[in-house]
Amino acid sequence: MYLLARIEETAFSTWIRESGWGFFTSLTLHSLALALVVGINLATNFRLLGVAKGIPIRLMGRFLPLMWFALVVVVISGTALLIAYPAKALTNILFYLKISAIIAALMITRHFSRTLFNEAVTGEVAVDYRVKTLAAIALILWISSIGAGRFLAYTNSILLASSFY
């Protein structure tokens, strides 16, 4: 808890937390970039499950560079939000659920990018039950991460660790 209090007392943490501009900008960037990351993944996984069959699966891979760029923005803005209120997130089990779900979902996305969306793959990709199962799991993971992230704002038991010192 002492380490969290020390982080909260840094000038950067204080600035993000107390300036409307710093927190608002971080939160807005986080939300917009997250919409791209999750949206691209949801569209891809729904396509793998058979929605919009007219769109070739291999073409879904064209969105991945944008998704990876948006993920960098999510990580940077999320880190800024975490630094603003480290105790709020790091003492809440939902934060760890959120991060675990995101990592697992991104591992599935990476697997798909290497196997299904690879430029070396020619023609239409066959989607078997394993691919559909992974796509369904990824959908559940993305929805879980969004839900956990949303509830983080309302389920914290500690807002600032520095209030204990």
pLDDT tens-digit map of 91-109: 999 999 999 999 999 999 9
> In this predicted structure, what is the pLDDT of residue 74?
98
Report percent pLDDT > 90 for the chain. Answer: 72
The ranges assigned to domains in the chain are 2-164
Closest CA to 118 of 41, 62, 50: 62
Q: Indicate whether 117 pLDDT > 90.
A: no
**Would you put residue 29 in left (φ > 0), alpha (ψ -120 to 50) or beta?**
alpha
∠ CA 32-36-38, nearest 5°, is 110
Q: Comparing 1-10, 23-32, 121-130, 144-153, which segment has the lowest mean pLDDT?
A: 121-130
Sequence-distant (6+) residues with CB within 8 A of 130 are: none
Residues 6+ apart with CB under 8 A from 98: 144, 145, 148, 149, 152
Tokens of 123: 């023609």
Largest CA distance in the chain: 63
For the residues 56-62, what does the mean pLDDT come to?
86
Record the tokens describing residue 124, joined without a space: 């239409």
Write out pLDDT tens, residues 77-91. 999 999 999 999 999
This prediction has a pTM of 0.88
**pLDDT value for 15:** 95
Q: Is the pLDDT of residue 71 over 70?
A: yes
